[in-house]
Structure 1
Amino acid sequence: MSGFRLDARDVEILRILEAEGRITKAELATRINLSPTPCWDRLKRLEKAGIIAGYGARVSLRALAPHVVIFVAVELETHKTDQFQTFEDAVQEIPEITACWALGGGFDYLLQVVARDIDAYQRLIDRMLASDIGMARYYTYIVTKPVKAPSPLPYAALDLPPKD
């Protein structure tokens, strides 16, 4: 993204798309006060720069199926580069792990796991421990209720160009 600068219209495009992903290109152009072609050009530029990483729907897991969400703090056996890579490669192949963050500090990784129930979660952990991915210890935190769901980015806190 070197040399790429966002202006207020770019930021507004991002705000609108994040809230209303199914908006038509014509409506988006109207809302940011541009004609369709320049709006489309801006959209393509944001996509090409990787600022818009993709489009999708927010699915209500609660409405879809019974489940449990679990956060797992993981410590690895060693802190060698190949150990981190082995673990990260393994995580990519486990569909129940819906998110993974590498951490600085006490734990090496924080995983978000979605499983049918606690038994299914424990079977997953047992498989991970039995495999050779370097897990030394894990700490389980079961989500009892969502308090704040993923929300739009805090644009104002990111020091981006303000709305005109």
Structure 2
Amino acid sequence: MDLDATDRRILTVLQKQGRVTNAELSERVNLSPSACHRRVQRLEEEGFIDGFVALLNARKLKRPTTVFVEITLSGQADEVLEAFERAVKLVPDILECHLMAGSADYLLKVVAEDTEDFARIHRQFLARLPGVAQMHSSFALRTVRQTTAIPV
């Protein structure tokens, strides 16, 4: 399915205001409410919309510390990669895990209360991840830009 200009406007609005009512969305993209609803349903069915979430405030939830962890594995065999990825999925403090091309095999985004809490996460989880040969952690000092909106 190809996206037309109206689909793109719908996706742009929904990325920034996921709780917008169908009536308000239809008005903003210049469609009837029923046509707008059908388009949103189609965008969901076609996989352009993965789901709707609430973006939480990490500071309010006492998780203001973001740490990026570069992981180098001991090997590239499928079993090593699969074991690592299975284990990462079980760590609640890891928000993102990316298989990388470059100097590290994986890049993790971890949230913590502070450096002590990160030390706990490191001891309990990160140091026990299978296949890890090397780990390098970098603490974010300040978030300059953060968005979940993909240009459409």
Q: Please indicate, yes or no, whether the TM-score normalized by the shorter chain is above 0.5.
A: yes
- Residue of structure 2 in register with 1:106 after alignment: 103
Q: Which amino acid aligns with 1:56?
A: V
Question: How has the CA–CA distance of structure 1 residues 26 and 79 changed in structure 2, closer, same or farther, with 3 Å as cutoff?
Answer: same
Aligned residues: 152
Q: Is 2:42 the counterpart of 1:45? A: yes
- Residue aligning to 1:120: 117
CA displacement at 1:122 relative to structure 2: 2.1
Seq. identity, %: 36
> C-alpha offsets along residues 69-99 of structure 1, whole Å, 9 cap, x if unaligned?
1000000011101111111111110001011
If the length of structure 1 is used for normalisation, what is the TM-score? 0.85
Separation in 2 of the partners of 1:66 and 1:85? Answer: 28
Report the CA distance shift for 1:20/1:64 in structure 2 as closer, same or farther (over 3 A).
same
Partner of 2:9: 12
- What residue is the counterpart of 1:159 in the other structure? none
1:23/1:45 CA distance change after superposition, 3 Å: same
> Residue 75 and residue 25 in structure 1: after superposition, are their counterparts in 2 closer, same or farther (change >3 A)?
same
Structure-2 change in CA distance of 1:30 and 1:129 (3 Å): closer
Superposition deviation, residue 10 in structure 1: 0.4
Q: Taking structure 2 as the reference length, what is the TM-score of the superposition?
A: 0.92
Point out where structure 2 has 5 or more consecutive residues left out of the alignment.
Answer: none
Q: Does 1:145 align with 2:142?
A: yes
Residues 77 and 127 (structure 1 numbering): CA distance in 2 closer, same or farther, change over 3 Å?
farther
Matched-pair contact (CA < 8 Å) for 1:128–1:135:
no
The answer to whether structure 1 residue 91 and structure 2 residue 92 are counterparts is no
C-alpha RMSD of matched pairs (Å): 1.6
How has the CA–CA distance of structure 1 residues 142 and 95 changed in structure 2, closer, same or farther, with 3 Å as cutoff? same
Q: Hey, which bits of structure 1, 4+ residues long, moved more than 4 A?
A: none
Alpha-carbon distance, 1:152 to partner: 2.2
User: Which structure 1 residue ranges, 5 or more long, are not aligned?
Assistant: 156-164
Work out whether residues 63 and 111 of structure 2, in 8 Å CA contact, stay in contact via their aligned partners in 1.
no
Q: Distance in 2 between matches of 1:19 and 1:97?
A: 24
CA–CA distance in structure 1, aligned partners of residues 36 and 123 of structure 2: 51
SS of aligned partner of 2:60: helix
